[in-house]
Chain A
């Protein structure tokens, strides 16, 4: 089975984020980057499927030169090869526009299964996978917990709201977005890191795919949210904070 995993590099999720002075994006100075965690689960799922059923895992990542570190990490974890869709200015795209680029690159690969994370930790639109399915003409299912490979099809367990689940069967080729936490993530081994250096990373430019950025929705201004509630912040040493909190919960909020 040929499995293509689309993944994204994002700023580390515990970073402090500040809008840039023009408000169009964040201050990027000093940020460290990582594989978008939901996409790491998609990669893990792809690697496990390959271990069970054989085949190949191809990683596709759109992003600037710096995204190469995310690609190397994916290769070190066990992906066979990668396509780096080199796009210095991801912000010129919205989900639809970026998916057009990704779809053009995926079409050249004709995978049996396309996997993505549920959403990104930066923009968090949660749309790329589903849009890709439409652009590629593939059946899809989202928020997938388990995959059972059948002949020419997959039967998947998808999560619904409020503790409900559902099984859905899709003919292959198909696209799935993977629920985070569905499997334990592996670390790259030293051997894996060494091997990754010899694996192929094919650079592809947006121009070569003949697709230009035409965003349908433009992010105009980022801002720090205003507090809707007046939070009383307790100061002092941990002991002082604890004492104030118990006092307030007893006599002000009266919940103890």
Chain B
């Protein structure tokens, strides 16, 4: 049986990206033997950590040209490894980095990539992959054509705590790369500014999304936050518009929070937002679209106009306090 290849990703500081373990858990739940690939200068240390989980082998791809991530370098190295192992299934964590190179890699192998997959099931020998469409409003099931199947897996869709322990051998391989393969010149990653607000420490959060419509309407959300003694946060479009500073953004490109109460106003619940807040203890969604994906994760939902509901809610909270 052709092996399943898991591409483990490391964070900028060299630690294992938590989604790498979720991806390994997905691979372990399937029948084929599992190989794990780790790239870059921190790969040997990460491989030692990965060796504590059950797999057939860990391949450390070692080459000076993999010192910094580049789409060209990773594509060339992994294309070589996929051929070398004759992988039947290649699984990636659906990170920003994977989005940057995995479609290129699959194309080089002449295969289709199914991205942001939330479930995999086998049906008479074939794999069926589920992913979301229309910003999470619908699910779609994909049947890949025969050949190597490429899939990137959504954050949180598999659980790392279901990993099977083991003791896996580590093999170091040198992919044949040349300077001419790599056209991007990457500089060191940086952060814009120190964060003044630590949303992750806030016990109560009121978050606003596109449904707030205009900057002046933010006052209503601020009043609600005050009435609750909560921090104000937002989904990406609000911060992109400059209505709130970037540091108040919750989601994959902003902060990850898990407060006692997360009250989402006019947030539809794109997956990029959900990954940043779905661990909250209690989620309340107020949105006029009853089909909005935010209701999937909400404990309490009000399908209504936030401009009617929020003033009533502020009034009610003031009454309760008095």
Contacts and interface: CB of A to CB of B under 8 A. Distances in A.
B142 A219 contact: yes
Contact of A231 (B237, B247, B301): B301
Residue of A125, A215, A248 with most chain B CB atoms under a 10 A cut-off: A125
B134 A255 contact: no
Instruction: Please tell me the size bucket of the interface on B.
Output: 35 or more
Given A163-B246, A223-B138, A241-B312, A96 B261 contact: no
Interface in A240-256: 241-243, 245-246, 248-250, 253, 255-256
A220 B143 contact: yes
Interface stretch (A70-78, A166-174, A189-197): A166-174
A95 interface: yes
Interface in A103-141: 121-127, 130-131, 133-135, 139-141
A17 B300 contact: no
Contact of B191 (A131, A165, A248): A165
A227 interface: yes
B142 A220 contact: yes
Contacts of A94: 112
Contacts of A167: 186-187
A30 interface: no
Contacts of B295: 227, 231, 233
A242 B143 contact: no
Residue of A171, A224, A229 with most chain B CB atoms under a 10 A cut-off: A229
Contacts of A255: 204, 260-261, 281-282
Contacts of A139: 72, 183-184
B12 A164 contact: yes
B137 interface: yes
A186 interface: no
B115 interface: yes
Interface string B133-152: 11111111111110100000
Contacts of A135: 107
A143 B98 CA distance: 12
19 contacts: A96-B106, A125-B113, A125-B115, A134-B75, A161-B253, A163-B191, A164-B12, A166-B189, A170-B183, A215-B145, A216-B147, A217-B145, A220-B143, A222-B140, A231-B301, A232-B300, A238-B304, A242-B316, A255-B281
Closest 7 CB pairs of A and B: A181-B240, A216-B112, A139-B183, A242-B312, A127-B103, A130-B103, A238-B308
Interface of A: 11, 13-14, 16-17, 19, 26, 94-96, 99, 121-127, 130-131, 133-135, 139-143, 159-171, 180-182, 215-225, 227-229, 231-234, 238-239, 241-243, 245-246, 248-250, 253, 255-256
